[in-house]
Amino acid sequence: MAIEEWLRTGADGVTRCWWCGDDPLYTHYHDAEWGRTVTNDTRLFEKFCLEGFQSGLSWLTILRKREHFRAAFDGFDIERVAAYGSADVERLLGDAGIVRHRGKIQSTINNAQRAIELIEVAGSINDHVRLFTPDAPHRLADSATGIPPLSPASTALSKDLKRRGWSFVGPTTLYAFMQAMGLVNDHLDGCFARAECEGI
């Protein structure tokens, strides 16, 4: 497929990556968030968690529930989530506004505890994950989407976090995290946001 086939020009005349379609919430996420550098540990932790919840689902499903997730998980405050107990798990399992999956809820609590340990060692989540930023352009276009599902860097970060006891942090999940948080720029050539995200 030619790169042009992975692009989409919306009714507003703006050319974007194909994956956000025409949904206003999704196009706003593509335009204003995806690929833009995030350094705040709370937001990085939130993204780890939401990418875990997204496993097996579409990101748009999670995006539509994101504000409810934030309310249910105390804004993804790491210290608060790390202190959750069994009553919180049951509360969350009864909350129809989120994805009610016991394993993913328990993973979020576990990962908050592991995040505290990581911050104690590395200084911040941001400082640690930036160690895995590729030094050079690395994108190898996937024939189906124009964007790869994982990378050597996401595989290395996955192995590192699993070794530290994190869960729901496979290499594909972490590549999505890296794309969204600006560790890599996978806006396609021809997408208006590619140049805006280059080097930021």
User: From residue 143, how far is each of 13, 19, 140, 146, 154 by CA, in Å?
Assistant: 26, 14, 9, 6, 19
Q: DSSP character for 184?
A: S
CA–CA distances in Å: residue 134 to residues 17, 51, 57, 125, 141: 22, 20, 27, 17, 16
Tell me, what DSSP letter sits at residue 9? E
Catalytic annotation present for 120: no
From the list 26, 51, 166, 175, the catalytic residue is: 51
3-state secondary structure of 78: helix
Active-site annotation holder among 6, 26, 34, 59: 59
What SS3 class is residue 163? Answer: helix
Structure tokens that stand for 84 in this block:
């959750």
51 in catalytic set: yes
Q: Residue 16 in contact with residue 191, Cβ under 8 Å? A: yes
Tell me if residue 59 is catalytic: yes
User: Of these residues, 18, 19, 29, 196, which one is catalytic?
Assistant: 29
Report which of 132, 137, 185 is spatially closest to residue 161, judged by C-alpha positions.
Answer: 132
The set of catalytic residues is 29, 51, 59
